[in-house]
Amino acid sequence: MAQNIQTVWELASATLPTGQGSAQIHVFDSKPQGEGEIAVLSRRGAGAGDIPLVRLHSVCLTGDVLGSLKCDCGGQLQASLGQIMTADYGILVYVLNHEGRGIGLANKIRAYSLQALGANTVEANIALCMPVDARDYRPCAAVLRYLGVSQVRLLTNNPDKLKALEAAGIEVLERVAMEGFDNPFNQDYLDTKVHLMGHLRKLTMQTARSL
Ligand SMILES: [Zn+2]
């Protein structure tokens, strides 16, 4: 059985000016000679408490960079960045090896071509002999621990992220729902995430334990 506790290495850190204010960017990897698997943007105001608003965001080239409407990643990233940069204490954990829910960019685009023929996101991954979700959140928990964080408010609709953080010893005091990223192109994708992958869509604030 895999261990829940992992080690990460901070490879670099610098101040980063952004359109929404100045923040600290950190680069982490699970190997000391790695090139960076996780980028973290953290911003802490003067007098802020110890419980940050946190988003664990899986890289999505098509959604985050290219503005694809096939998923809700780009909207979720921009909305969570806005909330993190205006919170007293906010942390974005951007996971660079989670493309395509961990199957990689080429496989994700292969899955898109199958989806164009009628498969949903789960069926397409299965047809490619790929896991439906290959993401490991334990390095994210390790990053939070490294930053001295043991309790979070988490921006997510994905119960797997809540469970993974709790299993790794990070207490999720509150789930902050992400809503409002529907469009005509991602409706089937969002419905599949709710019905086949257990995602939560109701606009609610609730504790992880009530899920
Ligand atoms: Zn996406």
Catalytic residues: 133, 135
- The CATH fold of domain 9-96+136-210: Rossmann fold (3.40.50)
In terms of DSSP bridges, do strands 9-18 and 53-58 run parallel, antiparallel, or are they unpaired? unpaired
pTM: 0.88
C-alpha 130 to ligand 1 mean position (Å): 17
Q: What pLDDT shows up at residue 201?
A: 64
Domain with CATH 3.40.50.10990 in the chain: 9-96+136-210
C-alpha 72 to ligand 1 mean position (Å): 6
CB 147 within 8 A of CB 42: yes
Neighbours of 106 (CB within 10 A): 10
CA 44 to CA 25: how far, in whole Å?
A: 12
Q: For residue 30, give every residue at least 6 positions away whose Cβ sits within 8 Å of its Cβ, in sequence order, or none.
A: 6, 7, 8, 9, 37, 139, 142
Token pair listed for 150: 């043991």
Say whether pLDDT at 125 is over 60. yes
Q: How confident is the model at residue 190 (pLDDT cuts 50, 70, 90)?
A: confident
Tens of pLDDT along 84-124?
999 999 999 999 999 999 999 999 999 999 999 999 989 99
C-alpha 156 to ligand 1 mean position (Å): 14
* SS3 assignment, position 93: strand
CA 160 to CA 62: how far, in whole Å?
A: 23
CA 65 to CA 78: how far, in whole Å?
A: 11
Say whether pLDDT at 209 is over 60. no
Helix then strand then coil, % of the chain, to nearest 5: 35, 25, 40
Indicate if the alpha-carbon torsion angle 84, 75, 166, 206 is positive or negative: positive
Helices 138-146, 159-167: inter-axial angle, 10-degree rounding: 60
